[in-house]
Chain A
Amino acid sequence: EAGVVQSPRYKIIEKKQPVAFWCNPISGHNTLYWYLQNLGQGPELLIRYENEEAVDDSQLPKDRFSAERLKGVDSTLKIQPAELGDSAVYLCASSPPGQGSADTQYFGPGTRLTVL
């Protein structure tokens, strides 16, 4: 079974440029998460989707960050414009239906963003 797929794996951009990250969850997983991981820290949730609905986006900086999961499968996270402080690893995770709060989240390899 294929795991969570993310692309690109690495991205280097100049500040004020836009950037987008793509995630394809494990087949059949209806819940999708985007996390931000700064160097030396644990991941922090940005947004959670149940199918195509964003059910928790309270930690998403909405002035510059946006996300979509139009058909309830793959998802895109966008930053526009990027700032120096956005340099981090962006992780996508998914979990299967039916387990509620006990569900295990499966993580992709992440996209390492460097903003110059």
Chain B
Amino acid sequence: AQSVAQPEDQVNVAEGNPLTVKCTYSVSGNPYLFWYVQYPNRGLQFLLKYITGDNLVKGSYGFEAEFNKSQTSFHLKKPSALVSDSALYFCAVRPPGNTGKLIFGQGTTLQVKP
């Protein structure tokens, strides 16, 4: 079955430290991969996506993600965390050949402490 796993319910980091939010997927073929962020009482905001090409993708607000095909992972990273980065982060995958459906992970809460 096609699925996305975010193994950590919550990630805690200190402001200024690097952060990583993990994501692995189980999809045959070459999927498209996405990261979204959700702030309280707001909709999901697009951060970045991997379609093809360079495995390191840069997105909004200084975030980046690294695609690793052999490990079927797409971890979200940021060199220096801000308190304002505290939010709920979702990894999503679109299987190849499917032009619409996004399969989301269960989400990871990022808590950045001053």
Contacts and interface: CB of A to CB of B under 8 A. Distances in A.
Which among B45, B104, B106 has the highest number of chain A CB atoms within 10 Å?
B104
A107 B42 CA distance: 9
Given A40-B107, A41-B107, A91 B102 contact: no
Interface size band for A:
20 to 34
Interface in A1-59: 3-4, 31, 33, 40-45, 48, 55-56
B43 A102 contact: no
A8 B100 CA distance: 25
A56 B45 contact: no
A80 interface: no
Interface in A47-73: 48, 55-56
A85 interface: no
B100 A45 contact: yes
B72 to A, nearest CB: 18
| Chain B interface extent, by class | 20 to 34
A4 B107 contact: no
Nearest to B42: A109
Contact of B32 (A3, A43, A101, A110): A101
Interface in B66-114: 90, 92, 94, 96-102, 104-107
A3 B43 CA distance: 10
A42 B105 contact: yes
Interface of A: 3-4, 31, 33, 40-45, 48, 55-56, 91, 93, 100-110
Interface of B: 4, 32, 34, 36, 41-46, 49, 51, 90, 92, 94, 96-102, 104-107
Given A40-B106, A42-B106, A107-B36, 13 more contacts: A31-B100, A41-B107, A42-B4, A43-B102, A43-B104, A45-B100, A48-B100, A56-B100, A101-B94, A102-B32, A104-B46, A107-B45, A110-B43
28 contacts: A3-B43, A31-B100, A40-B107, A42-B90, A42-B106, A43-B44, A43-B90, A43-B102, A44-B104, A45-B101, A48-B100, A55-B100, A91-B43, A91-B44, A93-B44, A100-B99, A101-B32, A101-B96, A102-B32, A102-B49, A103-B99, A104-B46, A105-B46, A106-B46, A107-B36, A107-B43, A109-B41, A110-B43
